[in-house]
Every structure is written in C-alpha cells, then in structure tokens.
Amino acid sequence: MPEFSPWHDNSFTYSPPKNEPAPARRISEDPEFHSLRRAQRRFGVRATVLSVGGFLLYVLLSHTVPGVMNERVAGHLTLGLTLGLGQFVVMGVTAWAYLRYMRTRVDPLARGLGSRLDQHEADSARTAAASGDAGQTVRPGSRGYPTW
C-alpha cells in the first residue's frame, strides 16, 4: 500500500467535497417534458402497430392462402399485388400523419419547453452576473457555454 494519499485528507477513498452547489433540476424531471414524451410515444406506438401489423398480415396471407392472393382483380393485377402496392400507401399515409401529429401536438410543447429552458438559463446568467461571478459570462440562449 502506498505511503501517501492523493486526496487532501490523506484517505485512500475519494469523497466529494461538501461545499458543492445543489445540482440544477434536470429537464427530464419537468412535467411538461413527460407530457411531450407521452404524446410522442402515443402516436409512435399506434403508427408502428399499424405499419408492421399491415405488413405482417400481408406476409401471412401470402403464405397461408396463396390461392386468394392470386385472384385476379383486373387484367394481370392480382389481389396479392394490390395489397403489396397498398403497403406503400400505408407507409406514405403513416409518414404524413406522423408529420401532421408532430407539427400540431408535439412541436408546440417542445417549443414551449425550449423557451422556458432558455428563459431559465438567461435568469441564471443574470443571477450569476449580479452575484459577482465575473470570471465567465454566459450569454442568454447559449445553453450555458461561457463566452471567451
């Protein structure tokens, strides 16, 4: 065992200093963040079930009832080919619905949360400047990175 310790109290285990400031509240603890994640997850699960379920149904039908899938709809167009091309339609509608849902429900929540975070950081910077912490200046909206 070495005869000296790298720690200031000569112990061989590290213990954090007792004078650390309280940690800032994390964004993931904000109730508005939880509502944002819930809204995003809610649509994501529905869209995934619809898209994957439709494709799985198509594959299972192709495997279990090939006679039905080979039924002619018009000319050389079969039911299987029609359902296969329908998968592209389902994916396109799902992508369109996702974009619309995110723009109308999730993006407003995210913008509100972002502006609250920017305001909180600006308030923190003003408080730090007023308390005499002139060593580093933090611009409002800079996400807490000090300026040169």
- Per the DSSP assignment, residues forming a β-bridge with 51 are none
**Which residue would you say has higher pLDDT here, 145 or 89?**
89
Split at pLDDT 50, 70, 90, the class of 142 is: low
* Across 10-14, 72-76, 126-130, least confident range: 10-14
pLDDT on residue 80: 93
pLDDT on residue 114: 82
pLDDT on residue 13: 63
**Which residue would you say has higher pLDDT here, 73 or 7?**
73
Token pair recorded at residue 34: 């939880």
pTM: 0.59
Q: What is the mean pLDDT of the chain?
A: 78
- Whole-angstrom distance, CA of residue 61 vs CA of residue 55: 10
For residue 87, pLDDT beyond 60? yes
CA angle (31, 35, 38) in 5-degree steps:
135
- Whole-angstrom distance, CA of residue 4 vs CA of residue 12: 9
pLDDT on residue 81: 93
pLDDT on residue 9: 60
